[in-house]
């Protein structure tokens, strides 16, 4: 009977780039077996769109809105009755571009922490947007007494919008997982096998903004994503075997309910609460020997993963503050509940500049 061992996943959700306990919205990843990139990527994308979507519903056009009113793009033609003197002040042109810098942390119960940083450039197009982003995520996979750190470098293209308070987003991601030094009780070493592996993901979400009281918004959203990546499986130090990889395809689905409130003198600040139910096809990843050298030689030459599905809840809070009409500060914090591989507390911050 092949030898089994259970892998304890690394801290995770991105985005666009959801792994174990994905946080805020568009980016899938490898599942809880190494859920890091997805949450981060998603946090990257949603931290920028949290206030954008609700501000669109309220008609606020000063933020980097996903759905600024169509009257934003061109003023009504003047008539003889409303022609102003040549010296009269004119309205500033709409700010169609925004640049966002983001960063965050993910801490797993009794496990290693992860961290991420990203940069994103967005362009408003009518009632929609397009966005390009790049993210780095650093996390560590714990397997038995072996620590396997990795850096993910992921690029994402996303598009979406607010169409009469129906909101939708889609994204595709591609990147590289760079394996770090393998650490054990006897020291650290480079991988004796692959040094990196490709990562890609795609996903979409769809929701509805409901205004149920002045400056109060409720947004139910459904999200689905797929991610494909690999995990490095270190060979025992007492052998001369190569370190091998396993494929980790992951399907993720989420149901999310948001509650947002606009406040401040011009209702340009937002505070929100989030409750989500997540499901992943790859909640726990176990590895078994896939192929041996021969019938007489039990030396493994390939490995494969056995994936166990998992479902969990996530709760969080978000905030968006208008520092100036063109500068916004977005914050989020989340906590998972019921994750088979260990619950995670995550937080992040984004600074957005519109121009």
Cα-to-chain-centroid distance, residue 339: 17
pLDDT tens digits for the chain (355 residues)? Answer: 333 333 333 333 333 232 222 333 333 344 444 444 544 444 445 445 545 555 555 444 333 332 222 333 333 333 333 334 455 556 677 899 999 999 999 999 877 789 999 999 999 999 999 999 999 999 887 766 667 888 999 999 999 999 999 999 999 999 999 988 877 766 777 777 788 899 999 999 999 999 999 999 999 999 999 999 988 877 765 555 677 788 899 999 999 999 999 999 999 999 999 999 999 999 887 777 766 656 666 666 667 778 889 999 999 999 999 999 999 999 999 999 999 888 999 999 999 999 9
The reported pTM is 0.75
What pLDDT does residue 91 have? 67
Which pLDDT score, from 0 to 100, does residue 185 have?
Answer: 67
Q: Position of tokens 């896939």?
A: 290
User: Is 16 in contact with 28 (CB distance < 8 Å)?
Assistant: yes
Cα(75)–Cα(48) distance, integer angstroms = 27
Structure tokens at 244: 């091998």
Alpha-carbon distance of 149 to 180, in angstroms, equals: 5
> What per-residue confidence (pLDDT) applies to 69?
27
Q: Which string of b and e fits 172-211 if b means at least 16 CB within 10 Å?
A: bbebebebbebbeeeeeeebeeeeebebebbbbbebebee
Q: What is the pLDDT of residue 194?
A: 80
């Amino acid at each position: 009977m092949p030898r089994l061992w259970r892998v304890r996943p690394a801290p995770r959700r991105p985005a666009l780039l959801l792994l174990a306990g994905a946080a805020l919205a568009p980016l899938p990843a490898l599942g809880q077996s190494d859920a890091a990139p997805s949450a981060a990527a998603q946090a990257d994308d949603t931290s920028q769109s949290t206030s954008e979507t609700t501000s669109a519903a309220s008609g606020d056009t000063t933020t980097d809105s996903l759905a600024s009113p169509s009257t934003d793009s061109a003023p009504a033609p003047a008539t003889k009755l409303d022609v102003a003197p040549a010296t009269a002040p004119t309205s500033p042109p709409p700010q169609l571009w925004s640049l966002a810098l983001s960063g965050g942390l993910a801490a797993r119960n009794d496990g290693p922490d992860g961290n991420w940083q990203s940069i994103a450039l967005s362009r408003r197009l009518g009632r929609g947007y397009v966005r390009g982003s790049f993210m780095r995520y650093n996390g560590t996979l714990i397997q038995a007494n072996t620590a396997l750190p990795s850096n993910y470098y992921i690029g994402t293209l996303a598009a979406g919008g607010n169409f009469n308070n129906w909101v939708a987003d889609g994204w595709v991601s591609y990147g590289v997982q760079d394996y770090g030094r393998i650490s054990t009780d006897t020291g650290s070493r480079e991988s004796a096998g692959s040094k990196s592996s490709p990562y890609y993901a795609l996903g979409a979400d769809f929701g509805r903004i409901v205004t149920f009281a002045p400056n109060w918004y409720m947004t139910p959203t459904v999200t689905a994503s797929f991610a494909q990546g690999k995990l490095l499986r270190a060979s025992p130090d007492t052998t001369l075997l190569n370190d091998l990889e396993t494929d980790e395809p992951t399907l993720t689905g989420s149901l999310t309910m948001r509650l947002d409130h606009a406040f401040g003198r011009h209702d340009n600040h937002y505070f929100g609460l989030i409750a989500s139910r997540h499901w992943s096809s790859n909640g726990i990843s176990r590895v078994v020997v896939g192929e041996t050298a021969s019938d007489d030689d039990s030396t493994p030459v390939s490995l494969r993963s056995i994936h166990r599905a998992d479902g969990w809840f996530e709760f969080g809070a978000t905030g968006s503050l208008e520092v100036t009409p063109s500068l916004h500060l977005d914050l989020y914090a989340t906590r998972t509940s019921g994750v088979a591989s260990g619950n995670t507390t995550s937080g992040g911050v984004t600074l957005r500049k519109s121009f």
